[in-house]
Amino acid sequence: MLQGQTILRIPGPTPIPPQVELAMSQPMIGHRSGDFSKLFAETSERLKPLFQTTQDVLILAGSGTAGLEAAVANTVSAGDTVLVATAGNFGERFIKLAAAYGAKVLRVDAPWGQGIDALQIQEQLIQHPEIKVVFATHCETSTGVLHDIESIAAVVKPTQALLVVDAVSSLGGADLKMDAWGVDIVITGSQKALMLPPGLTFLALSEKAWQVVNGNQSPRFYFDLRAYRKKLVESTSPYTPNVTMILGLVEVLNMIEAEGLQNVFARHQLMKEMTRAAGRALGLPLFAPDRVAAPTVTSFGAEGFDPEQVRKILRTDFGITVAGGQQHLKGQIFRIGHMGYCSPVDVFQVLSALEIALVKAGAQIELGSGVRAAQQVYLQAGEVVAHV
């Protein structure tokens, strides 16, 4: 391993493209200057296709969790009844946020590694018509599950409730049709499929959501989305923006537009299928079933070896970092991120190194079997590979 070489294959932060790093190294410009205002307005407009919405996309300086809190602070008042769909660590985060703002929190649970059943949400909405907001996670990063937001939106849309979706580890890597599906608030962060460092969060709100935001009584200041919407009309933000990262975001959008959003989705789907095929060939238990597997992160169980030892070997021998399990899954699973600035050749790299780490950790596998399975998926993919 070369000294200082680090290869991130975790579900965020993800590698940053060289052209994005170069864009962020430009000289600082004034955040209240005309040049920056023009750039800021254009960038917000160019984010709309990514969200698949005609609504404004707000840009805040902060992590993805800042965006989640902003969504809660602007839609929940103390005493409100909300419903949280949870099947992992980040669904639980919504529960904690809603409770912190004084909400009465109801919940729909699925086992970690399984998808949320939209019918259970519908039952709760019928039993509790006072529910003001439904919170759901698109990609549950802790398990590698992609929840069926389209089906969830279909049962929420006819009610008075809003649907707020955490798309921090999915937007830009998985299809999410905000307007067509009827999602009211979509939140994402910069450090996942958007190929930037941590530090920006983005939110888009429906008109139904804005009506709730405007009437909400919860105290807020920095996270008051009304202020961001008002200032966006003036091509600026109410508080100091992250100028450097917005310069990088311009280049990210250039890359996504050049590849084409549907091709971006196809690339992520291909990498998911390659990774899962390799896991099957190696005898690794897939933590998420095929029908709910996320295109941005794959989780594997461990039989006959210690996943933490595998992670350590990958890190010390090859400089490759993969993620471990969270909460009660710590030491039981490991997770490989394949999103953002990642292509099939990167998947081949991590799978080849993984096979060596598995052997060194005592797993009984056939060297080359996982890589071969991934190669077969790649070759069978046909025209999609021309766009990668």
pLDDT, position 385: 55
Please count the other Cβ atoms lying within 10 Å of the Cβ belonging to residue 387.
13
Mean pLDDT of 243-251: 98
The answer to whether residue 387 scores a pLDDT higher than 50 is: no
pLDDT tens digits along 178-217:
999 999 999 999 999 999 999 999 999 999 999 999 999 8
CATH architecture of 7-13+260-387: Alpha-Beta Complex (3.90)
Rounded CA-CA distance 135/133 in Å is 6
pLDDT tens digits along 117-146:
999 999 999 999 999 999 999 999 999 999
Q: Which residue has the tokens 């005309």?
A: 34
Rounded CA-CA distance 329/334 in Å is 9
- Domain borders along the chain are 7-13+260-387, 18-257
According to the CATH classification, is domain 18-257 in 3.40.640.10? yes
pLDDT tens digits along 255-285:
999 999 999 999 999 999 999 999 999 999 9
The answer to whether residue 388 scores a pLDDT higher than 50 is: no
pLDDT, position 3: 83
pLDDT tens digits along 86-122:
999 999 999 999 999 999 999 999 999 999 999 999 9
pLDDT tens digits along 157-178:
999 999 999 999 999 999 999 9
pLDDT, position 125: 98
pLDDT, position 291: 96
